[in-house]
Amino acid sequence: MDEGEREGEPILLIHGFASNAATNWVDPLWVRTLTQDGRRVIAIDNRGHGQSEKLYEPERYGAPEMARDSVRLLDHLGIDKVDVLGYSMGARIAAFLTFADPERVRSVIFGGLGIHMVRGMVGAGPLAAALEAPKLEDVTNQTARSFRIFAEQTKSDLKALSACMRGPREKVPASRLGQIGVPVLVAVGSKDVIGGSGLALAELIPNAQFLEITGRDHMKAVGDAQFKQGVLSFLASRP
């Protein structure tokens, strides 16, 4: 997806697990909000998601490799430098993109993922098992069940998502977060138990700003007006 004015400052949007560019960014009006702000909006369907190819080998879903997919897209579009907004799994991918290609990143926004970026999120085993279950009724773990419901709502390929969840799951070292030199905004819902404390993550990153999306959990924070306004203010104030 490539929307907005070509001369506008580009921002790359990276969606979360079991979602896609349309569900994560179009439906909650992110694309409209950012293009109306004069920005060029680029969004990708991560491998195994949305309209991208469905891969069934877990080893092909490493976050560093998925980050390189985004860099390849920027190369294809001839874009040298972007702001990056990632949500949940997309935030994790955005971190690896920033580590590997800091010169391509003007600023980065970690949405929906707090200290669990470092500590690890919901167990991959229960989530993968929920996606592999013959039917929803077989899933008893409530968090895993919520992801299964969401995956069905987005008409995702459950087998591809299971492979993604069983992938390498590389950890994000706190030491590497401490070396990030670009402006950072961490935005997490106050009721987000999946992403963990956003403030705790922000404290690991030099000069990072923290935005608490009050009253919102992991799923409902995505389209919240506080989140959008916070991002617009951050982008307007960063160098």
Contact (CB, 8 A) for 218 and 193: yes
Q: Which residues pair with 87 in a beta bridge?
A: 111
Domain count for the chain = 1
Contact (CB, 8 A) for 131 and 52: no
With respect to residue 127, please indicate whether it lies within any of the assigned structural domains: no
With respect to residue 215, please indicate whether it lies within any of the assigned structural domains: yes
With respect to residue 100, please indicate whether it lies within any of the assigned structural domains: yes
The Cα–Cα gap between 28 and 25 comes to 6
With respect to residue 138, please indicate whether it lies within any of the assigned structural domains: no
Instruction: Kindly give the pairing relationship between strand 2-3 and strand 40-44.
Output: antiparallel
- pLDDT score of 122: 63
Structure tokens belonging to residue 11: 């921002």
With respect to residue 110, please indicate whether it lies within any of the assigned structural domains: yes
Q: What is the pTM of this model?
A: 0.96
CATH of the domain at 190: 3.40.50.1820
Q: Which residues pair with 188 in a beta bridge?
A: 212
With respect to residue 194, please indicate whether it lies within any of the assigned structural domains: yes
With respect to residue 47, please indicate whether it lies within any of the assigned structural domains: yes
* Helix %, strand %, coil % of the chain (to 5): 45, 15, 40
Sequential pLDDT tens for the chain (239 residues): 999 999 999 999 999 999 999 999 999 999 999 999 999 999 999 999 999 999 999 999 999 999 999 999 999 999 999 999 999 999 999 999 999 999 999 999 999 999 999 997 667 889 999 999 999 999 999 989 999 999 999 999 999 999 999 999 888 999 999 999 999 999 999 999 999 999 999 999 999 999 999 999 999 999 999 999 999 999 999 98
- Domain containing residue 17: 2-119+169-237
- pLDDT score of 57: 98
Contact (CB, 8 A) for 90 and 20: no
Contacts of 3 (CB under 8 A, 6+ apart): 31, 35, 40, 41
With respect to residue 9, please indicate whether it lies within any of the assigned structural domains: yes
